[in-house]
Amino acid sequence: MSEMTYRDALNLALREEMRRDPAMVVFGEDVALYEGSFKVTRGLLAEFGEERIKDTPISENTIIGMAVGAAMGGLRPVVELMTVNFALLAMDQLINHMAKIRSMFGGQTYLPMVVRMPGGGGSQLAAQHSQSLESYFMHCPGMRIAYPATPADAKGLLKSAIRDNNPVVFLEHELLYNSKGEVPDDPEFLAPFGRANVVRAGADVTIVAYARMTVLALQAAGELEKEGISCEVIDLRTLNPLDAETFIASARKTGRAVVVEECWRSAGLGGDLAHRIHEACFDSLLAPVKRVAGLDVPMPYSREIEKLCIPRVETIVSAVRDVLAASV
């Protein structure tokens, strides 16, 4: 095990997989000479050369379309969009082509491609560059979705995504890039898709979260422990496939649940998670499921106002207290 940042864990995953598979290529805006907007592709051009690490024009629809064609042609592309917000310019290729081609061709072709996209708020980048759009992708069948919370999962899930023969949307929260954690050194270490992690065991309430919200949920659980409240924290890790079995079993055990997401509350992922818990645990719940989500507003530029729009540790703590005080 080695301690490294989330950023370096992603970089290591790319290096290991490129060494393992000569069919793997990386391209996107500024991924080669500039080494990526968040430096995830640092050093790859020097090691693998310009045939496998390529800068592209500023055209997200073209980048994804190139990757679709490359994957159908026998390569294994990993593309980087500068930010998930720019994926909106590529939705035709993502939704109408990448997600559907394997099904429309009756399984006669594979689409082994990964689209890496940084996202999330909290960096004071205002309304057009601070969005959490994971529910957009979850709504469309045909693509897998990963959103790791830790450096270990960043490495393990990215390696699993690269080896998968299905298209994968790989989301990375911008505020996690500098976070540190223990990462397995084994180049064959893989984190499985569709298997959530119980990152903290507890008895009083279940907190379901993912990505940066998992980090905040763990901090909230630490604060609540001082009050004698035992929280079980579930990190989803992948959003498609979604491991509902793990968080439903936890909610059935504790009798109470709080679901935490950074995306907007209206038609957000949390509504789906809460419904699944309610539907499966109706006879076990001791209180209504509580949702914590981003506010339904365009993200403001002001740092202090931005903080109010994104779930915080104190928001989660308050939600847990509310669900413990409530009853069905």
Q: Which whole-number Å values give the CA distances from 120 to 49, 123, 212, in the listed order? A: 31, 8, 9
Residue 266: is it exposed, middle or buried by C-beta count within 10 angstroms (0-12/13-18/19+)? exposed
The arithmetic mean of pLDDT across residues 138-159, rounded, is 97
Give per-residue pLDDT as tens, 253-274.
999 999 999 999 999 999 999 9
pLDDT of residue 326: 84
Which two tokens mark 327? Answer: 């009853």
Collapsing DSSP to helix, strand or coil, 302 comes out as: coil
Strands 2-5 and 180-183: antiparallel
Residue type, 275: H
The band of 143, judged by pLDDT with boundaries at 50, 70 and 90, is very high
pLDDT of residue 176: 98
Give per-residue pLDDT as tens, 196-220.
999 999 999 999 999 999 999 999 9
Q: Which whole-number Å values give the CA distances from 139 to 17, 94, 272, 294, in the listed order? A: 29, 12, 11, 18
Identify any residues that bridge with 76 across adjacent strands, giving them in sequence order. 24
Q: Cα separation of 14 and 159, whole Å? A: 7
The arithmetic mean of pLDDT across residues 126-137, rounded, is 95
pLDDT of residue 67: 97
pLDDT of residue 49: 97
Catalytic residue among 129, 173, 232, 306: 129
Instruction: Supply the angle between the helices 212-225 and 313-325 in degrees, to the nearest 10.
Output: 60
The band of 328, judged by pLDDT with boundaries at 50, 70 and 90, is low
Question: Percent of the chain scored above 70 by pLDDT?
Answer: 100
Collapsing DSSP to helix, strand or coil, 53 comes out as: strand
Q: Which whole-number Å values give the CA distances from 163 to 45, 114, 159, 190, 245, in the listed order? A: 21, 9, 6, 10, 25
Contact call for residues 196 and 167 (beta carbons, < 8 A): no
pLDDT of residue 107: 86
Identify any residues that bridge with 183 across adjacent strands, giving them in sequence order. 2
Q: Cα separation of 235 and 212, whole Å? A: 10
The arithmetic mean of pLDDT across residues 105-119, rounded, is 95
Catalytic (active site) residue 134: no
User: Is the pLDDT at 298 greater than 80, yes or no?
Assistant: yes
Q: Which residue has the tokens 């539907």?
A: 279
Q: Cα separation of 71 and 117, whole Å? A: 18
User: Pick from 48, 46, 8, 6: which is nearest to 26 by CA?
Assistant: 48
Contact call for residues 45 and 33 (beta carbons, < 8 A): yes
CA 310 to chain centre: 16
Catalytic residue among 35, 60, 134, 306: 60
The arithmetic mean of pLDDT across residues 281-309, rounded, is 96
Please state, rounded to an integer, the average pLDDT across all residues of the chain.
96
The arithmetic mean of pLDDT across residues 213-237, rounded, is 98
Domains of the chain with CATH codes: 2-183 (3.40.50.970), 197-325 (3.40.50.920)
Catalytic (active site) residue 182: no
pLDDT of residue 327: 72
